[in-house]
Structure 1
Amino acid sequence: MARMHTRRRGSSGSDNPAADEPPEWSDVDADDIEARVVELAEQGHDPSVIGLKLRDEGVKGTPVPNVKLATGKKVTEILEEHDAANDLPEDLRNLMARAVRLREHMEENQQDAQNKRALQNTESKIRRLVDYYRGDELDEEFTYSYDVAVDLLEDDR
């Protein structure tokens, strides 16, 4: 199948190896992992960055290859339990930040047709994600607009 906003086909990505339990060399306690996840979230890191830091730095010097295998919960589930989760989902927030940057660029450079197209594509993705998250993680009446995105991103920081 072709990609959504280009006519090209992308190469498929790799999958994680199938595993039912964490490797024996990574014997970190689940409570220590949860405490480290909450600590990293309080420092302002996103769930994806938290996973990378746990993989690279680990907990007390021992790397954690997969948080879900080690604790039985995803990083976002741990953050929700400890009330450290963000108001917006990470993918939606990143797309909104990109749209705000593109809109500011377009105000300075009206003739930039490529970035105008990129802004249209980005806002289209945002609207589809808002439809996906509406009701569960967003309010039923939530609609995307540039002003709403600016306000949400300022509140999030």
Structure 2
Amino acid sequence: DKKELEDLIVSLAQDGNSTAIIGTILRDQHAVPDVRLVTGERISQTLARNGISPRYPEDMMNLMRRALSLIDHLAGNRKDLHNRRQLELCESKIRRLARYYKSNGQLDENWAYKRDQLRLMVE
């Protein structure tokens, strides 16, 4: 059962699903409430062991997508001070996560958050 679940996780990841969506699919469609109880490791660890880990960690990518949507919003709404502040907070979270991932070795040491290159990173 452990091997079947691992194969299912890998196939779902190859279909383009994120780790959070893989967990939701396994919970709702395959009656697996917690992958970690069955396999003994997290979904991201299973994917990393099989060589399918993404370029950026999922939480950081979600924050970068959010920052990009805020930048697009502020391009048309220059006086929206509330969302300008939200963009600053979001970028601060990205920088803090980057510092953590650099110390863990999950992110390249010379990687830096740049607002003008964000669209290229998010793809």
Q: If the length of structure 2 is used for normalisation, what is the TM-score?
A: 0.94
Q: If the length of structure 1 is used for normalisation, what is the TM-score?
A: 0.75
Instruction: Provide the rounded CA distance (Å) in 1 between the counterparts of 2:20 and 2:65.
Output: 16
How well do the aligned residues superpose, as a CA RMSD in angstroms? 1.0
Corresponding residue to 1:44 among 2, 6, 16? 16
Instruction: Provide the rounded CA distance (Å) in 1 between the counterparts of 2:10 and 2:44.
Output: 10
Structure 1 runs of 4+ with >6 Å offset: none
Q: Secondary structure at the match of 2:68?
A: helix
Opposite residue 152 of structure 1, the aligned amino acid is M
- Spell out the pairing of 1:28-107 with structure 2 (5 A cutoff): 29-58=1-30, 63-107=31-75
> What's the % identity of the aligned pairs?
39
Give how far 1:153 is off.
1.1
Q: Secondary structure at the match of 2:112?
A: coil
Instruction: Provide the rounded CA distance (Å) in 2 between the counterparts of 1:42 and 1:147.
Output: 30
Instruction: Provide the rounded CA distance (Å) in 1 between the counterparts of 2:20 and 2:117.
Output: 24
The match for 1:26 is: none
Q: Secondary structure at the match of 1:57?
A: helix
Q: How many residues align?
A: 122
Give how far 1:148 is off.
3.0
Q: Name whichever structure is richer in helix by fraction.
A: 2
The match for 1:148 is: 117
Gaps of 5+ in 2: none
Give how far 1:88 is off.
0.4
Please give the per-residue CA displacement for 1:4-46, whole angstroms capped at 9, x wherever unaligned: xxxxxxxxxxxxxxxxxxxxxxxxx001100110111111111
Please give the per-residue CA displacement for 1:104-132, whole angstroms capped at 9, x wherever unaligned: 11111101111111101101111111111
Q: Secondary structure at the match of 1:83?
A: coil
Please give the per-residue CA displacement for 1:130-157, whole angstroms capped at 9, x wherever unaligned: 1111141111111101233211111xxx
